[in-house]
Amino acid sequence: MEYRTGLGWDVHRTEPGRLLILGGVRIDADFGLEGHSDADVLSHAVTDALLGAVALGDIGMHFPDSDPRWKGCDSLVFLRHALQLVGEAGYALVNVDSTVILERPKLKDYRLPIRRKLAETLGLDLDHVSVKFKTAEKVGPVGEGRSAEAQAIVSIVRE
Ligand code: C5P
Ligand code: MG
CA distance 13 to 52: 24
Q: Is the CB of 99 under 6 A from ligand 1?
A: no
Assess if CATH 3.60.15.10 describes domain 3-158: no
- Given a cut of 90, is residue 65 above it in pLDDT? no
Residues 58 and 82: their CA atoms lie apart, in Å, by 10
Atom 17, ligand 1: residue with shortest CA distance: 106
Residue 83 φ then ψ, to 5°: -60, -40
106 lines ligand 1 (CB under 6 A): yes
Residue nearest to atom 3 of ligand 1 (CA): 134
Q: From ligand 2's centre to the CA of 89, what distance in Å?
A: 24
Q: Where are the domains of the chain?
A: 3-158
Q: What is the DSSP string of 38-51?
A: ---HHHHHHHHHHH
Structure confidence by residue, pLDDT tens digits, 80-99: 999 999 999 999 999 999 99
Q: Give the nearest ligand 1 atom to 104 CA.
A: 21
Instruction: Say what the pTM is.
Output: 0.97
Contact criterion met (CB below 8 Å) for 82 and 152? no
Closest CA to 10 of 154, 153, 148: 148
Residue 152 pLDDT: 99
Q: What is the pLDDT of residue 1?
A: 79
